[in-house]
């Protein structure tokens, strides 16, 4: 079979913007602040940073290396090295489908809130919480918004790697940084903002529990787009002359930087207005508009800017999730890009509409004890990503030739990777063990036992039939 020239990134900056775009998403701006808020603030943040900077970077280097080595996306990459491991790639594709079964719903909410900022959302601060509840439980409006959000994904990914994904990242990512910095400056200059900064930067480790550690590791993984072959897929489009470890370092620093920036944008304002930090998952959609509602016309502008930033961040992440599936269909099934995008996007649209409806009209319908939205969310966040990350570390440490890894990470000996031995030991011993402990703790802490057993059974069945996949 004639081999087609593989698509590749147009430039180094383009790749970094795309990879950072994948990493920076709802996980940083929506999830991170509320996780920090409900887990006591500063101590959680420091632990999360440590996990991201040690485990996260290492796993990302591993994903980049396997992707570029094999020039294949997740499934093909595992398969090319060891057929018994094909299932780990397939698990990644399933995770991508499942995350895209709920992520566009929240992306749609964010898009809707850009418009809502201008159409009276902020005029009655006391009603913002109820308005959010009414909006997400209605049948038609959120579905329309999620379809618009998904359509944007489909257009970008259909244009291909350098034409679509890379261009979008290059324009949208700097826009996001700029907006967040602007909002952060506004936030810290409010009267009474000091309490928020203290909450963010003055740690109290006495409050740290096993749950805090678990939450912090999970957050680091989700936020860096690891554990499902996404960075592997992006690595497969990467030029042979790029320095993988330094790229992983830059992407990780950008990702953690944006999370911190989101914290600085939100908490000082929260404290300035006397809002409780541990409000939970409604933080962004309920509390942020409430904060801005107290600032008059300027607040409307800031609110719209904030939700533009959130939409942009969600979009550059969701295109990477769609790309994982599309690359699989192209690499393994030989499909054309456009056909792959429309087929995958169509399935995702159906899953997401069901997820959205599960907030309201279909709330009585449950799968293994949870609604459809929660089914996709819990299954991926709490089971598939953690196990996917652990599998990758075991695969690298025990099933890939050490020389091959060294060759890939030093570009055939032409550049230096001084920390190779330390990285290899981390991947081989420390990370599998650490993630195993965390995964077990995580899975044990899930209340939905049926869902947990289902998730593990899916992985076991995949592993059993790995050679046939």
228, 262, 312, 329: which one binds ligand PFF (CB under 6 A)? 228
- Residue in 102, 131, 125 with CA at minimum distance from that of residue 25: 102
What's the N-to-C CA distance of the chain in angstroms?
A: 21
User: Would you say 156 and 166 are in contact if contact means Cβ atoms under 8 Å apart?
Assistant: no
Strand partners, 370: 367
Site residue total, ligand PFF (CB under 6 A): 14
Phi first, then psi, for residue 377 (nearest 5°) are -65, -55
CA distance 451 to 460: 14
Q: Please choose, out of 20-28, 66-74, 194-202, 417-425, the segment that lies near ligand PFF by the rule CB under 6 A.
A: 20-28
Q: Please choose, out of 25-33, 137-145, 328-336, 357-365, the segment that lies near ligand PFF by the rule CB under 6 A.
A: 25-33
Q: How far is the CB of 20 from ligand PFF (least distance, A)?
A: 10
Q: How far is the CB of 431 from ligand PFF (least distance, A)?
A: 17
Q: How far is the CB of 226 from ligand PFF (least distance, A)?
A: 7
User: Would you say 203 and 42 are in contact if contact means Cβ atoms under 8 Å apart?
Assistant: yes
Closer residue to ligand PFF in complex, CB, 27/263: 27
CB atoms within 10 A of CB 407: 14
Phi first, then psi, for residue 273 (nearest 5°) are -95, 10
28-57 mask for ligand PFF (x: CB under 6 A)? x-----------------------------
CA distance 311 to 290: 19
Closer residue to ligand PFF in complex, CB, 193/312: 312
Closer residue to ligand PFF in complex, CB, 48/424: 48
290-329 mask for ligand PFF (x: CB under 6 A)? ---------------------------x--xx--------
Upper half-sphere CA count for residue 5 (Cβ side, 13 Å)? 5
Strand partners, 435: none
Q: Which residue has the tokens 């009209």?
A: 361
Per DSSP (E only), the strands in 395-465 are: none
Residue 354 tokens read as 């069901």
Q: How far is the CB of 313 from ligand PFF (least distance, A)?
A: 7
Phi first, then psi, for residue 363 (nearest 5°) are -65, -20
Q: Please choose, out of 18-26, 138-146, 147-155, 355-363, the segment that lies near ligand PFF by the rule CB under 6 A.
A: 18-26
Closer residue to ligand PFF in complex, CB, 290/355: 355
Q: Which residue has the tokens 């991508």?
A: 96
Q: How far is the CB of 319 from ligand PFF (least distance, A)?
A: 9
Pick out residues in 229-268 that bind ligand PFF (CB under 6 A).
230
16, 17, 18, 23: which one binds ligand PFF (CB under 6 A)? 23
- Residue in 252, 278, 256 with CA at minimum distance from that of residue 266: 278
CA distance 258 to 260: 5
Closer residue to ligand PFF in complex, CB, 213/312: 312
9, 15, 20, 25: which one binds ligand PFF (CB under 6 A)? 25
Q: Does 26 bind ligand PFF (CB under 6 A)?
A: yes
Closer residue to ligand PFF in complex, CB, 384/417: 384
Residue 36 tokens read as 């920090």
Q: How far is the CB of 369 from ligand PFF (least distance, A)?
A: 24
Closer residue to ligand PFF in complex, CB, 290/317: 317
Closer residue to ligand PFF in complex, CB, 30/424: 30
Distance of CA 434 to the CA centre of its chain: 20
| Rounded (to 5) percent helix, strand, coil in the chain | 80, 0, 20
222, 267, 375, 417: which one binds ligand PFF (CB under 6 A)? 222
Q: How far is the CB of 235 from ligand PFF (least distance, A)?
A: 12
CA distance 449 to 453: 6
Q: Under the rule (CB under 6 A), what is the footprint of ligand PFF?
A: 22-23, 25-28, 222-223, 225, 228, 230, 317, 320-321
């Amino acid at each position: 079979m004639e081999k087609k020239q593989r698509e590749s990134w147009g430039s180094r900056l383009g790749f970094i913007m795309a990879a950072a775009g994948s990493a920076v998403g709802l996980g940083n701006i929506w999830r991170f602040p509320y996780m920090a808020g409900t887990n006591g603030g500063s101590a959680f943040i420091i632990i999360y940073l440590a996990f991201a900077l040690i485990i996260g970077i290492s796993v990302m280097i591993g994903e980049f290396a396997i992707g570029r080595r094999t020039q294949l996306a997740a499934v093909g990459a595992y398969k090319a090295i060891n057929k018994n491991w094909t299932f780990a790639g397939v698990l990644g594709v399933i995770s991508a489908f499942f995350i895209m079964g709920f992520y566009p719903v929240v992306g749609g909410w964010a898009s809707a809130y850009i418009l809502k900022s201008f159409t009276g959302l902020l005029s009655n601060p006391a009603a913002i919480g109820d308005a959010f509840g009414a909006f997400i439980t209605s049948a038609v409006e959120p579905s329309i918004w999620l379809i618009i959000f998904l359509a944007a994904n489909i257009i970008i990914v259909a244009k291909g790697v350098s034409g679509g994904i890379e261009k979008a990242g290059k324009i949208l990512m700097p826009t996001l940084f700029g907006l967040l910095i602007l909002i952060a400056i506004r936030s810290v200059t409010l009267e009474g903002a000091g309490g928020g900064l203290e909450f963010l930067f003055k740690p109290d480790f006495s409050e740290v529990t096993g749950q805090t550690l678990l939450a912090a590791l999970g957050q680091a993984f989700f936020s860096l787009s690891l554990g499902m072959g996404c960075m592997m897929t992006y690595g497969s489009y990467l030029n042979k002359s790029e320095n993988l470890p330094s790229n992983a370092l830059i992407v990780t620093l950008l990702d953690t930087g944006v999370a911190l920036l989101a914290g600085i944008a939100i908490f000082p304002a929260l404290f300035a207005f006397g809002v409780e930090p541990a409000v939970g998952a409604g933080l962004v959609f309920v509390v942020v508009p409430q904060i801005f509602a107290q600032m008059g016309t300027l607040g409307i502008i800031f609110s719209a800017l904030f939700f533009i930033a959130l939409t942009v961040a969600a979009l550059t992440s969701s295109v990477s999730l769609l790309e994982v599936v599309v690359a699989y269909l192209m690499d393994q099934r030989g499909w054309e890009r456009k056909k792959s995008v429309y087929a995958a996007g169509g399935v995702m649209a159906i899953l997401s509409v069901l997820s959205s409806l599960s907030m309201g009209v279909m709330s009585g319908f449950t799968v293994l004890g949870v609604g459809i939205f929660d089914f996709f969310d819990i299954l991926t966040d709490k089971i598939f990503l953690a196990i996917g990350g652990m599998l990758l570390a075991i695969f690298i440490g025990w099933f890939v030739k050490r020389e091959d890894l060294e060759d890939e990470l030093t570009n055939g000996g032409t550049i230096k990777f001084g920390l190779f031995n330390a990285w290899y030991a981390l991947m081989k011993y420390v990370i599998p063990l650490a993630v195993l402990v965390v995964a077990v703790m995580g899975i044990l802490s899930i209340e939905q036992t049926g869902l947990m057993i289902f998730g593990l059974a899916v992985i076991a069945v995949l592993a059993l039939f790995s050679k046939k996949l």
